[in-house]
């Protein structure tokens, strides 16, 4: 039997399980990255096994692809699947318009490509990630290694010109080495405190040579599913502005999976 989950982890599990309800037989799915997305992959694999669903998936990172394959899911290259029906992914922050900051797990590039190639994106999250205005979470920006410190300087100059509140930009490390993404790029984290105009910032960042993509997801997310460790799940849908909360029960058997890989 699995150990009791912390309230935060239970919230992630609850949101992941609820989002998997949106999956239908025959769908082509995008699989997100991160700890919440890992719960989703497990819940999805369980549904596929129990109900015999025929689905195919494109993963947003090597680690998600490995987890999904290890659980028997049919994982293909995005280009083999073409357009997707639905992507389910986590986020680091979301605001009332369901704009997001993503990339805490350094997978923002594949995540944005996959979500943008989907009819619908559902974000699975916990209440701590809901903000009135994006920016407390450092904004990840993926840059190519060539001239990365010059790209960093160009970003800092742009932030100064835009008069953004915080301007510290740091290179993300993995131990004593610069972290490399699945595309062998680097991540710069922008410690901005508060992002006033996320749309403008996103456009400006992507105009800088050396920037591959940034972690602002604007007009991409359709639904946010917020799992609360106390046993509630809230579903917010941007298409009709609706929001409703459901009570849920969770037992240890629900989050016990044969493969404990996260």
Q: 34-58 burial by CB neighbour count: b if 16+ within 10 A, else e?
A: bebbbbbbbbbbbbbeeeeeebebb
Residue 103 assigned ligand-binding role = yes
Structure tokens of 110?
Answer: 């594949």
Closer residue to ligand 5RP in complex, CB, 31/164: 31
The answer to whether 93 contacts ligand 5RP (rule: CB under 6 A) is no
**Cα–Cα dist 47/54, whole Å:** 10
**Cα–Cα dist 57/30, whole Å:** 6
Closer residue to ligand 5RP in complex, CB, 109/154: 109
Catalytic annotation, pick one of 51, 66, 97, 111: 111
Would you call 97 a catalytic residue per the annotation? no
The answer to whether 30 contacts ligand 5RP (rule: CB under 6 A) is no
Phi, psi values for residue 160, rounded to 5°: -65, -45
Q: Residues 6 or more apart from 179 whose CB is under 8 A from it?
A: 106, 172, 173, 186, 187
State in angstroms the smallest separation of the CB of 50 from ligand 5RP.
Answer: 24
Closer residue to ligand 5RP in complex, CB, 37/155: 37
- Which residue of 102, 112, 172, 236 would you call a contact of ligand 5RP, by CB under 6 A? 102
Interaction residues for ligand 5RP, span 196-235 (CB under 6 A): none
Residue 105 assigned ligand-binding role = yes
Which of 140, 112, 141, 133 minimizes the C-alpha distance to 221?
112
Residue 172's alpha-carbon distances to 11, 139, 180, in angstroms, are 27, 11, 9
Please identify, among the stretches 30-38, 71-79, 182-190, 231-239, the one whose residues bind ligand 5RP according to the rule CB under 6 A.
30-38
Residue 147 assigned ligand-binding role = no
**Cα–Cα dist 85/191, whole Å:** 34
User: Using CB under 6 A as the criterion, what x/- string covers residues 3-22 for binding ligand 5RP?
Assistant: --------------------
State in angstroms the smallest separation of the CB of 39 from ligand 5RP.
Answer: 8
- Which residue of 11, 34, 138, 229 would you call a contact of ligand 5RP, by CB under 6 A? 34
Residue 119 assigned ligand-binding role = no
Q: Which residues are catalytic?
A: 111
Binding-site residue numbers for substrate are 33-36, 89-92, 102-105, 129
């Amino acid at each position: 039997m699995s150990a009791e989950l912390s309230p935060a982890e239970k919230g992630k599990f609850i949101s992941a399980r609820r989002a998997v309800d949106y999956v239908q037989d025959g769908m082509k799915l995008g699989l997100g990255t991160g700890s919440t997305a890992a719960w989703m992959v497990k819940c999805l694999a369980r549904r596929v096994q129990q109900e015999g669903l025929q689905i195919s998936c494109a993963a947003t990172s090597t680690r998600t692809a490995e987890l999904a394959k290890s659980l028997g899911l049919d994982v293909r290259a995005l280009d083999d699947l073409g357009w997707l029906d639905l992507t389910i992914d986590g986020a680091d922050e979301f605001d009332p318009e369901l704009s997001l900051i993503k990339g805490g797990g350094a997978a923002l590039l594949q995540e944005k490509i996959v979500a943008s190639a989907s009819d619908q994106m559902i974000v699975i999250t916990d209440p701590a990630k809901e903000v009135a205005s994006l920016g407390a979470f450092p904004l990840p920006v993926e840059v190519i290694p060539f001239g990365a410190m010059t790209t960093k300087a160009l970003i800092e100059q742009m932030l100064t010109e835009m008069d953004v509140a915080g301007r510290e930009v740091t290179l993300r490390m993995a131990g004593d080495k610069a972290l490399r993404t699945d595309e062998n790029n680097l991540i710069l984290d922008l410690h901005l405190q508060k992002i006033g105009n996320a749309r403008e910032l996103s456009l400006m960042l992507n105009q800088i040579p050396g920037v591959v993509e940034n972690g602002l997801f604007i007009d991409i997310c359709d639904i946010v599913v917020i799992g609360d460790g106390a046993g509630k799940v809230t579903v917010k849908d941007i298409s009709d502005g609706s929001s409703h909360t459901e009570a849920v029960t969770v037992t240890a058997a629900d989050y016990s999976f044969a493969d404990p890989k996260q």
